[in-house]
Each structure stands twice: as structure tokens, then as C-alpha cells.
Amino acid sequence: MAHVVLKDLVKTYGGFKAVNEVSLTVNDGEFVALVGPSGCGKTTTLNLVAGLTSVTSGDIVIGDRVVNDLDPKDRDIAMVFQNYALYPQKSVYMNLAFPLQMRKLPRDEIDRKVREAARVLDMTQLLERKPRELSGGQQQRVALGRALVRDPAVFLMDEPLSNLDAKLRVQMRSEIKRFHQDLKATIIYVTHDQLEAVTMADRMAVMNGGYLQQYDSPAQVFAHPVNMFVASFVGSPAMSLIPLEASTANGDAVLTSAEGWSLALSEANARKIQGATTRKIVLGARHSTIKLHKSAVAGAIPAKAYTVEPTGDVTFVQAFLSGAIVNISVSPKIAVAPDEQIWLEFDQERMHLFDGETEMALRAN
Amino acid sequence: MSTIAETASRDQIRRRQRVDGWRWAGRLFLVFMLLYTALPMVWMLSTSIKSGFAAMQFSPQLWPDQPTLASYQKLLDPQNSVGQDFLRFFWNSLIVSTATTILSVIVAVPAAYAFSRFTFPGRNFLFFAVLLRNMFPAVIFLVPLFILMRAIGLVNTHGSLVLTYLTFGLPLAIWLLKGFYDNIPVQLEQAARIDGATRFQAFMLIVMPLSTPGIIATAIYSFIGAWNEYIYAYTFLSKNEQLTLPVGIQRFFSENTTDFPGLMAASFMMSVPVVVLFLLLQRYFVRALTEGAVKH
């Protein structure tokens, strides 16, 4: 196992910058998820680490070697692909044996390692089958087996669960997490699904437009998103972002809406908005931090319920505030009807404030 | 309720009937096409086993009273001057077609792979240029190519034919094979390269085996194209001992106008390799389509 360091990594295609000065360190044995919407540069970053794409500038270090100019085969990595990339003409056994054959291991050692990997992944009875005779989940497992049979320094995984159905995805998610815990493997895992990143990774690197937005533990990213993009990308349903304007009323800082209502800010929050470059402030609130009242309460904002979505455990209510959709989760015991008048109370402690111009989170100094 | 069910089932029946109507029309059409293509072959075969007299008989017999293999014996007899000519033409055709096929695969495989996998300046232009050749009737190039061949001293050599046939066969071979490579996910090669293979090994060990059906299909296609070609062989070659079968048989025809059984026997034997290869071609095409060598 080894650590991986990306230093000011840049990849351009023609004039298009796919990866833009990305720097991050993956510690030995750490599970890092690269997450972002499609086209954000996460897969390109992974391909750069794998050596499948050449680096425009910057450095990639695996272990203690700069691997920029090394062939993929010399980087001591293994990769699991979204479409599994199992060799269709080879049996499962030969698929698992291929990386070992390429390294010219003696035949009996190959046999021992292949059977060991098959035993670990519980697919000894599948060894003679061809990939097309396997189910999606089994193919996924073979792909995982082909990666682990070699005991590489780093595992690279490119959306390995995207082709599975929802139920299997949840199951394989915990298997991969277990796999990481057992092997203490260094894993770089690319996904567009923030839920996978949050549930599996030790740290997640949120990317957008080729830039690394935030690199931290899922809990930190969730609790302290650095900007509006991260805030809206991580968490489901997404954080509600309400555009407002900073002003004062009777000497106290308030956020006023174009709709006429205003929201008084706590002292701590008032200090935060002093750091803003503009009077435009975006209020961010997660569904669980907004309290729904069915009658007027001091400090609560009046709104109308738009849709009501019961999910069993919780009911999600959507409302419009200042032209933005606001998600609120309530106990299923509280009956809310569409178009019903409701009052929303924001939790001052857990609300997020963003600069309306730079879209960066406002922090207390 | 029952009326709804009844209407539904009646609808179903009507739909099935309509489909069956089309299916029968299709079958009828296929039978017609089969007769259209097979009858001349049958006629050729039946004439080839007739005696010279029976072949001219009116009204003609579909199957001769006294079938004879005399024409075949004559054609395949190296002692006989007709046999010598025929066997030499056959051999010439075999050499030219095989050389064309081998060269075309050797060039088309890497070319198609490059067009499929790499981006390089002028890629689209080159690919279009490759196809451009096939947008003109072959005859247009006859005179220019003849002048060219004469200038480089290749007239009256089999090399001139091989070169010419490559210009027909290669574009299509490249085009066909590129389609094959496009369908092989690039991740397979990437996986192989990460698993320890060089780029070349990844191509040889993973991509080549997967594209075998495509390579064989293209090879057979090139072979048949070269085997049947007439006009260039007729123009470029004038020495009797170099002629290929199509030209040879044509000459045979003008010299032996009366020997219909002999002509038909020669034509039949010329078509044997093509028919055999076509059967193989069909098998490989079907294999390539159904086996799912590449599954997404």
C-alpha cells in the first residue's frame, strides 16, 4: 500500500481545461472519493493517476515515486471500471490470472492466488464461466477480484456500482467498504453519486468544472460546505438556497426578501455577513434544520406548501420562498396539505450563509 | 368487461393476421430471389455434366440422360493443353487473391485500429480520403492506373493486380474493421495495460482475439473481390501464362465457342472457392453478431 499525492495537476484537451490545478494527498490506507457532476474532471483525474491519459502539467506521486511518465503497467495500481472491462473471451479464472501472467509469476503461484481471491469473493464455483454467463453483480465481483489478486499499491475505482440495480448497489457498497476495512487498501473511488461518497469514503474530494472545490471528511463537507456548489451537491434532498438581501432594522442585522418578509439574524450570523463583498446574501438550510409550524410563530416566515412527499419515515414538504424551492422534512405524523399556509423557522446555529457574488460560504472571523 | 376482453383479443388476432400476411409476402419474395440466384447456378452445373451434343439439344434437358464428368477431367488434366491453361489460370488467381488478402489484412488491421483509437491531425480527412476511392466506378481509374503501372514497370506482372486490388479492397477493409474496433470498449485495453500489458500486448492479447471474426470476414471479402475481378486483369496482363481465371475463361469462351459443357465446368470450378468462402463469411458474420464477443 502507498500514499498518493497530486500536485497542481492540469490536463487540457485543446483549449479545454478538464482538470485544473488539482492538488490533494491520499494517505496510505485511506479511502478517498472523487465526486462531482458529469464532466467535472473526476474521471480524467483518475485516468491521470492510472496513466491512461498523459499529464499536461503537475506531478503525480505514488508511494515515493513520481509516476508522470511511467506506463500504467509500471505504476503498481489496479483499476475497476464502470463496465467492469472483463476480458470477454477469457473465463473468470483466466481473467483473474491475467495480471499475474503478465507479471510472469510461476504457474502454481498464479493458481494459488487466483483460487484464494475466488474464495475471498465467494465465486469459486464461477471460475470456469465466461463473463457473459455471469450476472451484473457477479461480473462486478470478478472485476474486484482481478484488482485485488495482484495486491497493488493503490486501487482505482471508476463508478464501479453505476451499472448495478439499486438493491445490488447498496449491497456492493457495503462489500467494498468491508473490502477496504479488511485490506487497509488505498482506494481512489470516482462517483457522481454523493451518497456513495458520503457513505464509503474517509475523505471526499468534491470537484466541479475541473476544479477541486473541497477536500475533507464527509461529515465536515456536509456540515461546512465551502461554497454554494458543494452545499447544493452534497446531501439529499439538496440544501435549499434562498437569495436574500442584507439590511438593518432597528440597528439589528436582518435578511430581507423581495417578497417583503425579513429574517432577523443571530449575533454570530450577523458577524458572518459583514465579511460579504455584496449585500446579496444566499441563505442555505438543510431540510432537517427547518422547522415547520402550522400557525404563526415569532421569527417564522410564512409560506405555502407546494408539494408533499411522504416517504414512510419522513415526509418532505416543498415550498417556495423568494423564488427558491425550500425542502423541509417533517414527521409523517404532521399532516400537511398542498397549498396549506405554513410557517418556516430557520435554525440560526445550523444555517449557512453565502456571499451572493462569490458564492463562497461566509465564515465568522 | 367481457366485451372489452373480446375486442382486445379480436384486435390481437387481427394484428397477428396482418403480420402473417407480411411474413408470407416476405417468404414469397425470398423464394423468388432464391430461384433467381440459384437457377443460373443449377443450369451451369447441369450443362457442365452434359456431353457437347446434349448441351445443344432442343428442347434442353434440365438433367442429362447420360451425365458425364468428361469436361472436368479435361480441365483438370495437366497433360492436356486446355487443362494446363486452366490450372495455370487457377493458380494465378489463387496467388493474386491470396497476396491481396494477406497484404490487405496486414495494412487494414493497424490502420483501422489507429482510426478507431487515436486522434491525430488529419484523422477525419484521411478517413474520408480512404473512402473517396470507393465513390468512383473502378473503370475511371483504369487508364490512369495503366499509365502508372507502365511508368513503374509493373505491366504484365501480378504485382500490378495486387496493388490495384488493394486500392479497392483496403478502404472497405479498413472501414469494416474500424467498426469492429469501435465496438470493443477501450476500457478492455486500459484494463490490460493496468494489469501489466504494454500497449502492443494489450492489442495482441485482448483486442486481436476479439476482432478475429471481423478480420476473417474482411479477409474473405478481399479475397472474393480479387478473385472475381476482370477488367483490370484484362487490361494489365497480356501474356497467356499470367492470366487470371476471369480473363482466362473469357478467352476460353472466345476460342471454344462451341464447347459449352467445358465452359460451364470451368465457370463452376471458378465459383467453388467463392461459394465456400461465402458460406464461411456468413458463418463468421453470424458469429460476430450473435456471440456478443463484446458486451456492454
What's the whole-model pTM score? 0.80
d(CA B215, CA B218): 5
Whether pLDDT at B208 is above 50? yes
What does the H/E/C string look like for chain B?
CHHHHHHHHHHHHHHHHHHHHHHHHHHHHHHHHHHHHHHHHHHHHHHHCCCHHHHHCCCCCCCCCCCCCHHHHHHCCCCCHHHHHHHHHHHHHHHHHHHHHHHHHHHHHHHHHHHHHCCCCCHHHHHHHHHHHHHCCHHHHHHHHHHHHHHCCCCCCHHHHHHHHHHHHHHHHHHHHHHHHHCCCHHHHHHHHHCCCCHHHHHHHHHHHHHHHHHHHHHHHHHHHHHHCCHHHHHHCCCHHHCCHHHHHHHHHHHCCCCHHHHHHHHHHHHHHHHHHHHHHHHHHHHHHHCCCCCC
A81–chain B Cβ distance below 8 A for any pair = yes
Task: Quote the pLDDT of residue A125.
Answer: 92
> In terms of domains, do B109 and B16 share one?
no
Q: Residue B296's pLDDT is what? A: 39
Domain A4-233 matching CATH 1.10.1660.10: the answer reads: no
- Min Cα separation A295/chain B (Å): 50
Give me chain B's average pLDDT, please: 84
- Examine residue B160 and state whether it is found in any structural domain, yes or no: yes
* pLDDT at residue A281, as a whole number: 94
Q: What percent of chain A has pLDDT over 70?
A: 99
- What's A240-355's CATH class? mainly beta
User: CATH 3.40.50.300 region(s) of chain A?
Assistant: 4-233
Q: Which of A71, A75, A81 sits opposite B191 (nearest CB)?
A: A81
Q: Inter-chain contact B210–A50, Cβ cutoff 8 Å?
A: no
Using one digit for the tens of pLDDT, what is the confidence trace for A281-325?
999 999 999 999 999 998 899 999 999 999 999 999 999 998 899
- Mean pLDDT confidence for A192-203: 94
CA distance, residue A73 to nearest chain B CA (Å): 4
In a domain, B99, yes or no: yes
Within-domain flag for B70: no
Q: Measured between CB atoms, does A105 come within 8 Å of chain B?
A: no
- Indicate whether B292 pLDDT > 60: no
User: At CB < 8 Å, which residues of chain B contact A?
Assistant: 185, 187-188, 190-198, 201, 206, 209-210, 292-296
Using a CB–CB cutoff of 8 Å, tell me whether A87 touches chain B: yes
Q: What percent of chain B has pLDDT over 70?
A: 88
Question: Are B206 and B286 part of one and the same domain?
Answer: yes
**A115-162 residue pLDDT tens:** 999 998 888 999 999 999 998 889 989 999 999 898 899 999 999 998
Residue B120 pLDDT greater than 60, yes or no: yes
What range defines the domain where residue B134 resides? 77-290
Q: Is the pLDDT of residue B14 over 70?
A: no
B1 falls in which pLDDT band (50, 70, 90)?
A: very low
Chain B residue numbers touching A87 (CB-CB < 8 A): 188, 191-192, 206
Question: Considering Cα of A86, then A88, then A94, then A97, what sign does the dihedral take?
Answer: negative
Query: What pLDDT, on the 0 to 100 scale, is given for residue B288?
Result: 55
A79 in reach of chain B (CB within 8 A): yes
| CATH code assigned at B203 | 1.10.3720.10
Mark whether B93 and B174 lie in a shared domain: yes
In chain A, ranges of CATH 2.40.50.140 domains: 240-355
Mutate which: B118, B186, B193, B195, vs A, most A CBs within 10 A: B195
If pLDDT is split at 50, 70 and 90, which confidence band does B11 have? low
Query: Could you report the per-residue pLDDT of B135-179, keeping only the tens digit for each?
Result: 888 888 899 999 999 999 988 999 999 999 998 888 888 888 888
With 70 as the cut, is the pLDDT of residue A107 above it? yes
Q: Which carries the bigger pLDDT value, residue B133 or residue B125?
A: B125
Q: In the numeric block, which cell numbers belong to residue A363? A: 465564515
pLDDT, mean over chain A:
92
Find the CB nearest A71 among B191, B198, B293. Answer: B198
Contact A102 B294 (CB under 8 A): no
Question: Which among B171, B58, B163, B60 has a CA at the least distance from the CA of B108?
Answer: B171
Cis peptide before B59 (omega within 30 of 0): yes
B65 domain residue, yes or no: no
- The answer to whether residue B235 sits within a structural domain is yes
Number of domains in chain B: 2
**How much is the CA Rg of chain B, to the nearest whole Å?**
25
| B59-73: average pLDDT | 82
pLDDT at B60: 78
Distance between CA atoms of residues A316 and A335, nearest Å: 11
- What pLDDT is attached to residue B281? 72
B194 and A131 in contact by Cβ < 8 A?
no
Q: Are residues B247 and B155 in the same domain?
A: yes
Q: pLDDT tens digit string along A10-41? A: 999 988 999 999 999 999 999 999 999 998 99
pLDDT of residue B295: 42
Kindly report, residue by residue over A324-335, the tens digit of the pLDDT.
999 999 999 998
pLDDT value, residue A158: 94
What's the pLDDT at B129?
81
